[in-house]
Amino acid sequence: MAEFNENAKIWYDGKMVDWKEATVHVMCHALHYGSSVFEGIRCYDTKKGPAIFRLHDHIKRLFNSAKIYRMEIPFTIEQLEQACINIVKINNMRSAYLRPIAFRGYGRLGVDPKDTPVQVVVAALDWGKYLGDEAINIGVDVRVSSWNRMQSNTLPAMAKAGSNYMNSQLIKMEAAADGYLEGIALTPQGLISEGSGENLFLIYGGKIITPPLFASILPGITRDSIITIARELGYVVEEQMIPREMLYIADELFFTGTAAEVTPIKSVDRILIGTGKR
């Protein structure tokens, strides 16, 4: 779980402010209409000091998400990269989870965001394994959700937008209510998409297979890293549409994501994957 340090500083529109001073107005556009885009970025403690994993790629994706939603971020990519570096330094953190977010602020009500300023915040917090340390070691039990991912021409899945995560909440809450740690969503056509907040991979017939971008998935940074490293190591990696039943007969399944990192899946709908062991 994420842990808040209320003594920490937050980067807010170019200034470092106290944690409790990083507030928004209750009539903020994003609060009413979900008009925000954000990132989750890991900073790891290394022998050479804190290292932010693929910082440029994350901030570039933030700008891509904003562009899709016609949101002009009033800072450059370089300025936000530096903000991420500075927030780690000022809070004396060796490792951290960074949350840059751009949102439409206080200006006017109405679906049209005209005349609402775009504000940007970067926070740093302690966040361990998203699905828990035990999940990394023994795997997680998941279910196929009754909630589908959205069509790309309904809500653009390639944008990491706050509004998209209402769908994720439905998937996550349903899974939890039924005793599972996570849910797997299907596309509107009944094919595999992703978890509520993670990309999905399966191993079958000696190949590593993952849904393509047009399966209503987020273009995950960790997903891209896994694909790149696996191919460099000589593994066959295929991006293809996956029918639901392949989940049950896969040799291995795992989630990937900045928060989840690489988390093995032990069972789907109470059906063991492989031997059910990592």
User: Following CA atoms 155, 159, 160, 162 in sequence, which dihedral angle do they give, to the nearest 10 degrees?
Assistant: -40
Stretch 94-111: mean pLDDT: 96
Mean pLDDT of the chain: 95
CATH of domain 133-272: 3.20.10.10
What's the pLDDT band for 46 if we cut at 50, 70, 90? very high
Give yes or no for residue 128 having a pLDDT over 90. Answer: no
Stretch 170-183: mean pLDDT: 97
pTM: 0.94
Report helix angle 77-90 to 55-68, nearest 10. 130
Tell me which residues are annotated as active site.
Answer: 160
Give yes or no for residue 278 having a pLDDT over 70. Answer: no
Better-predicted residue by pLDDT, 57 or 153: 57
CATH of 2-127, one of 3.60.15.10, 3.40.140.10, 3.30.470.10, 3.30.360.10: 3.30.470.10
CA distances from 204 to 215, 227, 251 (A): 19, 15, 5
Q: Where are the domains of the chain?
A: 2-127, 133-272
What's the pLDDT band for 1 if we cut at 50, 70, 90? low
CA distances from 202 to 9, 113, 238, 248, 266 (A): 40, 41, 10, 10, 12
Give yes or no for residue 275 having a pLDDT over 80. Answer: no
Stretch 95-100: mean pLDDT: 97
Stretch 129-153: mean pLDDT: 87
Residue type, position 133, single letter? D
Give yes or no for residue 78 having a pLDDT over 80. Answer: yes
Q: What is the pLDDT of residues 191-247, one digit of tens each?
A: 999 999 999 999 999 999 999 999 999 999 999 999 999 999 999 999 999 999 999
Give yes or no for residue 268 having a pLDDT over 90. Answer: yes
Per-residue pLDDT, 12: 98
Distance in Å from the first CA to the final CA of the chain: 23
Q: Kindly tell me the number of DSSP H helices and DSSP E strands found in the chain.
A: 7, 17
Give yes or no for residue 2 having a pLDDT over 80. Answer: no
171: helix, strand or coil: helix
How many Å apart are CA 108 and CA 85, to the nearest integer?
33
Tokens of 197: 């907040």
Burial class of residue 159 (count of CB atoms within 10 Å of its CB; 0-12, 13-18, 19+): buried
